[in-house]
Structure 1
Amino acid sequence: MNIKTLGLPVALAACVALAGCSTPTVVTLHNGTQYLTRDMPKTRTKDGFFEFEDISGAKVKVRADDVATIRKED
C-alpha cells in the first residue's frame, strides 16, 4: 500500500472520532426561542453573555439573563 491509499482511511477515521466528541445542546431563551448547538456553550462571559455557534455555523451571543435553560439534546 502506498501512502495515498493509507492516508484516506486514517483521515476518515480521525474525522469520525472527533465528531463523536461533540455534545449537541439546546439553549432555550425566556421568549421561547431555541438554539441547537454543536457543543456546550461557553460559560457566561465577563460582560454577561453566552457565546456559542449554532448548528448552521452562525455565531450567537445572547444575554445570560435571557437564557432559561441549557440542556443536552436527547
Structure 2
Amino acid sequence: MNIKTLGLPLAMATLLALAGCSTQTVVTLQNGTQYLTKDMPKANTKEGVYEFEDISGAKVKVKVDEVATVRKED
C-alpha cells in the first residue's frame, strides 16, 4: 500500500476524533443575544466575566450578570 491510500482514512479518523472532544454550548444573554461556542465557557471569578471563543473564532468576554443561560447544544 502506498501513503496516499493510508493517508486519507487516517486523516478522516483524526478529524472525527478531534470533533468529539469539544462540546458546543449556547450562551444566552439577558437581552436575548445568543452565542454558539466551541467549548464550555470559563468563568473568571476575579473579573466577574465568562470568557469563551465563538464558532467564528472571536474571543468574547461577557459579564456574569448579563448571562441568562449556558447550556449544551442539542
Report the counterpart of residue 57 of structure 2 in structure 1: 57
Structure 1 gaps of 5+ residues are none
Moved beyond 4 Å, runs of 4+: none
Give the counterpart letter for 2:33 in structure 1.
T
Say what the alpha-carbon RMSD is for the aligned residues.
1.5
Task: State the 1:6 CA deviation.
Answer: 1.8
Q: Matched residue pairs, number?
A: 74
Bigger proportion of residues as strand: 2
Report the counterpart of residue 9 of structure 1 in structure 2: 9
Structure 2 gaps of 5+ residues are none
Give the counterpart letter for 2:50 in structure 1.
F
Identity between Structure 1 and Structure 2 (%) = 77
CA distance in 2, matches of 1:29, 1:22: 22
Q: Secondary structure at the match of 1:12?
A: helix
Task: State the 1:44 CA deviation.
Answer: 2.9
So what's the TM-score if we normalise by structure 2? 0.84
So what's the TM-score if we normalise by structure 1? 0.84
Report the counterpart of residue 69 of structure 1 in structure 2: 69
CA distance in 2, matches of 1:22, 1:70: 15
Task: State the 1:11 CA deviation.
Answer: 2.1
Q: Secondary structure at the match of 2:61?
A: strand
